[in-house]
Amino acid sequence: QVHLVESGGGLVQPGGSLRLSCTASGPTFSNYGMGWFRQAPGREREFVAVVSRTGLNTYYTDSTKGRFTISRDNAKNMVYLQMNSLKPEDTAVYYCAATTDPLLSLLRRRNARNYNYWGQGTQVTVSS
């Protein structure tokens, strides 16, 4: 089983920044497509960003594009989500996810059902 652990969440003021980290178990991290999702109270889990296995290609939801940056360090088995210019509507539990399907396009990876493994989530609260 793949074990994913998120960290870096917390309370931040509007306009502030946070960097989330996700650490994956095992030596085959470069084989996983990685994504970030979030879920606010009373809402469905929402796609945020994905990064290809090589880290070369990324895709973002419209509400975060230009503010968030997803990246990965395969040597460290880690994925990051740099969040800048945070807004109250960004408040949610943020989840790291991994898929082992090598043929999924980045657009297809917007669907949470295409991920095999999930972390426990980390809370991000944007409030003054």
Q: What pLDDT does 39 receive? A: 98
Q: What pLDDT does 83 receive? A: 98
Helix (H) or strand (E) holding 88: none
pLDDT digits (tens, 9 = 90+) for 81-116: 999 999 999 999 999 999 988 788 888 999 999 999
Q: What pLDDT does 101 receive? A: 84
E strand map for the chain: 4-7, 10-12, 18-24, 33-39, 46-51, 58-60, 68-73, 78-83, 92-99, 117-118, 122-126
Q: What pLDDT does 90 receive? A: 98
pLDDT digits (tens, 9 = 90+) for 14-63: 999 999 999 998 768 888 899 999 999 999 999 999 999 999 999 999 99
